[in-house]
Amino acid sequence: MGRHCLLLRLVFLSVVSAASAYADFTADEFIYNGFFGSDLSLDNQALVSDGLLKLTDGVSSKGHAFYTFPLNFSSPEISNTSSSVPSFSTTFVFAIVSYYQGFSTDGLAFVLSSSKNLSSGFEDSQYLGLVDSLPSSTGNKESNHHLLAIEFDTIQNPELEDIDDNHIGIDVNSPISINSHTAGYYASDGTFYKLSLAGGEPMQVWVDYDSKHTILNITIAHYSLSSTKPNRPLISITYDLSSVLPNTSSAYAGFSSACGPINTRHYILGWSFNLSGEAAALNYSALSLNTIRQELAQQVRLPRDHSLSKKTILLCAILLPTLGIAMIISATIVKAHMDRLSESRTAEIEWDREYVPPSFTYKDLLAATGGFEDKMLLGRGGFGSVFRGVLRHSKKAIAIKRVAPESKQGMKEFVAEIVILGHLRHRNLVQLLGYCRHKQQLLLVYDYMPNTSLDYHLHTQQPNTTNLSWSQRFHIIRGIASGLFYLHEDWEQVVIHRDIKTSNVLLDSEMNARLGDFGLARSHDHGADAHTTRVAGTWGYIAPELARLGKATKATDVFAFGVLMMEVTSARRPIWVDSANGEPLALADWVLAAWQGGSITDAVDPRLDTYVEEEVDLVLKLGLLCSHPSPEARPCMRLVMQYLQRDTPLPADLQPDTLLSICVSHDDDEHPMSCPATAITDLSKGR
Ligand X SMILES: *[C@@H]1O[C@H](CO)[C@@H](O)[C@H](O)[C@H]1NC(C)=O
Name the packing angle between helices 554-570 and 470-485 (round to 10°): 170
CA distance 421 to 427: 13
Q: How far is the CB of 133 from ligand X (least distance, A)?
A: 12
Q: Is 50 helix (H, G, I), strand (E, B) or coil?
A: coil
Closer residue to ligand X, CB minimum distance, 116 or 388:
116
Q: How far is CA 16 from CA 13, 19, 24, 37, 93, in A?
A: 5, 5, 11, 20, 21
Name 92's bridge partners.
205, 271
Closer residue to ligand X, CB minimum distance, 72 or 627:
72
Q: How far is the CB of 81 from ligand X (least distance, A)?
A: 7
Q: Which of 106, 153, 499, 605 is catalytic?
A: 499
Closer residue to ligand X, CB minimum distance, 75 or 228:
75
Closer residue to ligand X, CB minimum distance, 217 or 642:
217
Q: How far is the CB of 37 from ligand X (least distance, A)?
A: 17
Phi first, then psi: give them for residue 238, nearest 5 degrees.
Answer: -95, 120
Cβ–Cβ under 8 Å, residues 190 and 232: yes
Q: How far is the CB of 94 from ligand X (least distance, A)?
A: 18
Closer residue to ligand X, CB minimum distance, 10 or 547:
10
Residues found in the chain? 687
- Residue ranges that bind ligand X, judged by CB under 6 A: 13, 16-17, 20-21, 24, 27, 29-31, 72, 74-76, 80, 117, 119-120, 208, 210, 215, 217, 232-233, 236, 247, 249-250, 272, 274, 276-280, 283, 285-286
Closer residue to ligand X, CB minimum distance, 142 or 374:
142
Phi first, then psi: give them for residue 23, nearest 5 degrees.
Answer: -150, 150
Q: How far is the CB of 78 from ligand X (least distance, A)?
A: 8
Cβ atoms within 10 Å, residue 102: 18
Say whether 395 counts as a known binding-site residue: no
CA distance 174 to 176: 5
Q: Which amino acid is at 118?
A: L
CA distance 617 to 612: 9
Q: How far is the CB of 10 from ligand X (least distance, A)?
A: 11
Catalytic annotation present for 499: yes
Q: How far is the CB of 266 from ligand X (least distance, A)?
A: 21
Helix (H), strand (E), coil (C) string for 557-586: HHHHHHHHHHHHHHCCCCEEECCCCCCEEE
Q: How far is the CB of 340 from ligand X (least distance, A)?
A: 27
Closer residue to ligand X, CB minimum distance, 76 or 371:
76
Q: Could you tell me which of 529, 546, 683 has the C-alpha nearest to residue 621?
A: 683
Closer residue to ligand X, CB minimum distance, 17 or 472:
17
CA distance 667 to 544: 11
CA distance 124 to 105: 11
What residue is closest to ligand X based on CB? Answer: 277
Q: Exposed e or buried b for every residue in 388-426, given b needs 16+ CB within 10 A? A: bbebeeeebebbbbbbbbeeeebbbbbbbbbbbbbbbbb
CA distance 559 to 536: 14
CA distance 39 to 23: 10
Q: What is the DSSP string of 211-241?
A: TTTTEEEEEEEE-STT----SS-SEEEE--G
Helix (H), strand (E), coil (C) string for 361-390: CHHHHHHHCCCCCHHHEEEEECCEEEEEEE
Annotated binding site for ATP: 401
Annotated binding site: 401
Active site residues: 499
